[in-house]
Each structure stands twice: as C-alpha cells, then as structure tokens.
Chain A
Amino acid sequence: MSILIAALLLLAAATGSGVALTRTPRRQVMAMAVNGLVLALLFMVLQAPDVAFSELAVGTVALPLLFLAALASVRMDRRSDRARDGG
C-alpha cells in the first residue's frame, strides 16, 4: 500500500470524525463537503475516476448545497409563523 493511499485513508478517517464531532449544522455541512472531497481523492488514487467524478459532484456540490438551502429555509423568518406565534 503506497504512502498516498495510507495518507488519504487517514485523512478520510480524520475528516469523517470531524463530521461526526461537529455540533453546529452549518459547520457540519462544510465538514461533510471536505469529507466528500477527501473521498473523491481516495477514489481517484484507488483507480476509480468515474466514482470520484460522482463523489465530487454529488458529495461536495449537490449535497452541501441542498443541505444549506434546507437549513436556510428552516431558519428563515416566516410571516405566517410569526402571525401564528403572536410575535
């Protein structure tokens, strides 16, 4: 096993733990994107470039974007909510 693969496996473990240990949702999304980037590099080194493309596009672009949009939508001020809560 080459040093590159070992280093990337360690990085994947470190960034994966980072996702699990991050408590704020917004930061967790970013941690997940970093983890996806490391996984994409790992797939590339393991000679699976097609899987790396998918991981890169889905794991580091699509998934974080959808999560951020969902988080923003959840925390947004809603007129109807405010009227209901009497605020």
Chain B
Amino acid sequence: MTRRARLLLCVLAAACLLPACLHVALHMPPFGAHPLPYGEAINALATRQRHVTNMVSAVNFDYRGLDTLGEEFMLLGAVTGTAVLLRGSRGEQLTARPGRVGNRPVAPRSDAVVLICRALAALTVLFGVYVVLHAMTTPGGGFQGGAIIAAATALIFLGEGYRGWRRIMRTGLLDAAEGGGAALYALCGFAAMAAGWPFLHNFLPLGTPRDVFSGGLMQIENAGVGFAVAGGFAVLFVEFLEETRAERDGDGA
C-alpha cells in the first residue's frame, strides 16, 4: 500500500470514527460523578449483610465470587502455559552461569544494592502479608498482597543473585501454592454445595464488622487467592529468569 493510499484510508477511518467519539465524549457524566446504582447499593448493604468494610472484597469474594473463580483459573492457565512454553533444563542448576549478551560485561552487585534489597525484601513480604490479611477491613486483598509478596521475591533476586535466589525459591512449594490456592477457592464453592447451599454460598459465621477475621468464607477464598497469586507470579519469575542463564550442552534441542 502506498503512502498516499494509507493516508486516504486514515482520513476515511477518522471521518467515520470522529462523530462517534465526539458524541461519547460530549455525553459523558462529569468527572467524579458515578451514576451507576450498583456501587451505591453495595455501599448501603454490604456491611450489614456480610460484616465487612472493604466493599471491593465483598463484591469479589461473595456477591460476584464466581467471577473471581474464573479469574483464578485464568491466572492458573496463563502460568501453566508459560511454564510449558519455557520448559527445558536451562537455568535449572543453581550454579548455572549467566548468559552473555555480546561482549557486555556481567557487572557484580554493589554492597549497597545487597543491603537495600535485604532490608526492603523482608519489609515488602511483611507488607504483602498485611495486605492479604486485612482484605476484609481495608483496601487490598489476596491479589494485591500476593502481587506484593511476589514483587519481594524479585527484590531477593536483585540482592542475592541467581544462585541465592533459586536456593530460596523452592519451585515445588511455589507450584503447590499456585495450584493449591486455586483449588482452595474452588473447594470453598463445593463445600457450600456439599452442605446443601448454592455454590460459593457464604455459610461460615460472618464475625464482627471491622474485625480482621470477619467475612466468613470470604477469608478462606481470600487466602486461596493470596497463595495462588504469590505462587503464580513467583513461578513466572523463575521461568523467565531461568531463560537468562547460559546453556549447558544438550539444552538447545
């Protein structure tokens, strides 16, 4: 396609799209206004019905708990797919040498990086656990906390180098956390069914509002999501960073 034809196509497409874009832009609700009744209803009802003060968790784990189960298995599928794609023995050994890019030198870590990463990684894990545990009372939850914990493992890699990092990252445990977390969520649903309620019905005692352990079944689902997300992201990191190691003989096939 010539430059002229492309330009013509671009102008034509813009002429078709522009009126629609302008129409939407001019009829949008003002900034900050939310005319949807669903949020108002949840805000009014959730604390009374489910004894939690974090409405997002109430929606994610209870009112629309099935959606979160779907997302859980999307994550599991994505991580499994990545692990299958990047299978192979490269980097599996703790002593694997770093791969070389041209003649670029592999720089050693400075002491400052090691010190900062050791201090920050511990604090970040702590903060991640805090965010997971306080899912029912304050903003955050299993996904956010799990992602924060996984981010801490990236800090450990930065501070300890590949060998020390792989010694800490027990891949068997991470796989178990990823799969077990998703299974725990699904089992919560089946447990409700076994007891005669609908799937994912919140049948556990709901506890006192504003208490860390309020929310009943949501607590267990939230823990499942936390394990699955922390394990899933950590597995991704291991799989990707294994690819930055040098090949041994026979790895290339």
Contact = CB atoms under 8 A, between A and B. Distances in A.
Nearest to A64: B154
Contact of A66 (B140, B145, B240, B251): B240
Given A66-B236, A78-B252, A72 B147 contact: no
Interface string A33-65: 000000000000000111001101110011001
A57 B236 CA distance: 14
B38 interface: no
Contacts of A80: 247, 251-253
A73 B243 contact: yes
A62 B124 CA distance: 14
A31 B95 CA distance: 33
Interface residues of B, number: 32
B67 to A, nearest CB: 16
Contacts of B102: 75, 77
Q: Is chain A's interface secondary structure helix, strand, loop, or mixed overall?
A: helix
A51 to B, nearest CB: 8
Given A62-B154, A62-B236, A65-B154, A73 B99 contact: yes
A70 interface: yes
Nearest to B144: A53
Contacts, number: 77
A1 interface: yes
Contacts of B131: 53
A75 B244 CA distance: 10
Given A72-B101, A77-B100, A53 B243 contact: no
Contacts of A75: 101-102
A79 B139 CA distance: 50
Contact of B31 (A1, A57, A66): A1
A50 B141 contact: yes
A76 interface: yes
Interface of A: 1, 48-50, 53-54, 56-58, 61-62, 65-66, 69-70, 72-73, 75-81
Given A76-B101, A77-B102, 6 more contacts: A62-B233, A70-B243, A72-B99, A72-B244, A75-B101, A76-B99
19 contacts: A1-B32, A49-B139, A50-B54, A53-B139, A53-B147, A54-B143, A57-B147, A57-B151, A62-B151, A62-B237, A70-B240, A72-B243, A73-B240, A76-B100, A76-B246, A77-B99, A77-B102, A79-B252, A80-B247
Interface of B: 31-32, 54, 56, 99-102, 131, 139-141, 143-145, 147-148, 150-151, 154, 233, 236-237, 240-241, 243-244, 246-247, 251-253
List 7 tightest A-B contacts by C-beta distance, closest first: A80-B252, A57-B147, A53-B144, A76-B99, A73-B243, A69-B240, A50-B139
